[in-house]
Amino acid sequence: MSTNGRDAIMDKLMIEGGYPLEGTVQISGAKNSAVALIPAAILADSEVTIDNLPEISDVQLLAELLQEIGGEVELTPEEIKIKPENMIAMPLPNGRVKKLRASYYLMGAMLGKFKKAVIGLPGGCNLGPRPIDQHIKGFEALGAKVTNEQGAIYLRADELRGATIYLDVVSVGATINIMLAAVRAKGQTIIENAAKEPEIIDVATLLTSMGAKIKGAGTNVIRIDGVDSLPGCRHSIIPDRIEAGTYMILAAAMGQRVIIDNIIPYHVESLIAKLREMGVSIDVNDDQLLIHNHKPKQGVDVKTLVYPGFPTDLQQPFTTLLTQAEGTSIVTDTIYNARFKHIDELRRMGANVKVEGRSAIINGATTLQGAKVRATDLRAGAALVVAGLLADGVTEISGVEHIDRGYAHLEEKLLGLGAKIWRESMTEEEVEQVKS
């Protein structure tokens, strides 16, 4: 992983701001696909190989979890080979399963394969209540009995039968989890009001390559005809649209001429539109973007929405960019109202930002100053990296373990663009302060 085997909680990220970015950055495979595709391999009857794998800590954790339940796993920087033949429905109530939110995909995959599972309530980013009630609703509709016992979810079914399931809330996690459980159920499952994200299409593509019968992925109605067996396959993960968006924001903030390579431009159209509205020049090619940045930036209003709207995962770094735009900007997050924990850290660096309800109001442009700040979640970490590159002086970011969950080789990629960024070990006193 990008921590080179070290415990990231012992690290801090150091950034000396003010250096312009120029060059080409390669985008890794999609984190939000990888964390669903790896559990999906449980459903197979023979070896599954997944390549274009992002080298992030969440992937390492999932590989270890599959080994816990008897899988043979071979993990290299670019791909993972999973042999599921000896996997068993071993309970996973504690330990690694609690360290990442995406461990909930083990529920759907193990329920689909073994008709039972015990999974500890997942952890990951602390973004307030992100309930899994729609997941449970889907599992129950397919015939599972679901109970919460001592902080773990128990799923049991004599058999799974297809059903029509209407999601009360558009949920990527619930859509994928129900797909995983339904591909080996008897009969047809219809998911209505399904999420449309590219990562859902990616998971459906893997399952279809294994012999699943899925129609409508990427639309709001997905139809799945259950099958009895799923042979293994090889699959390549789509590029990470959130990593791509983060580097687009970094390039808009500090870039002179930056090429974002290995992307699907269609997946980031909402961000392209907002950056152009701010005055950022973007040239779009088949699988890359060129951002060249010479005009003053103008404030814009942004509202996060489900795909294909503006992604909530880019709201935090985009908020940092707006501190450099003239006038007043308003960012409203309709997805997670707790996703403003980065605002206090930005204010510590001199940003003129306040939170009112679900909105952040940004008055710019302001000069940011280097400071000691803490990443409280993955995308807040990205927001602080943007701030550190913009700021006068040195910015010191703790909470690096959050950043490592979603950004492969962050320092190497930024160094390649001309940034001044490095890691240092925290002192024992600093570690105690972080833990307290």
Please give the C-alpha separations between residue 281 and each of 197, 263, 289, in angstroms, as whole numbers.
Answer: 26, 17, 10
Q: How many residues does the chain have?
A: 436
Cα pseudo-dihedral 320, 324, 326, 330, rounded to 10: 0
What's the number of CA atoms in the CB half-sphere (13 Å) around residue 219?
Answer: 8
Question: Quick check: 416 and 409 in contact, CB under 8 A?
Answer: no
Asked whether the beta carbons of 53 and 237 are under 8 A apart, the reply is yes
Cis omega (within 30 of 0) for bond into 308? yes
Q: Catalytic site residues?
A: 125
User: What Rg value do the Cα atoms of the chain yield, rounded?
Assistant: 22
CA–CA separation, 166 and 130 (whole Å): 18
Q: How far apart are CA 224 and CA 212, in angstroms?
A: 8
| Dist CA 246 CA 387 (whole Å) | 12
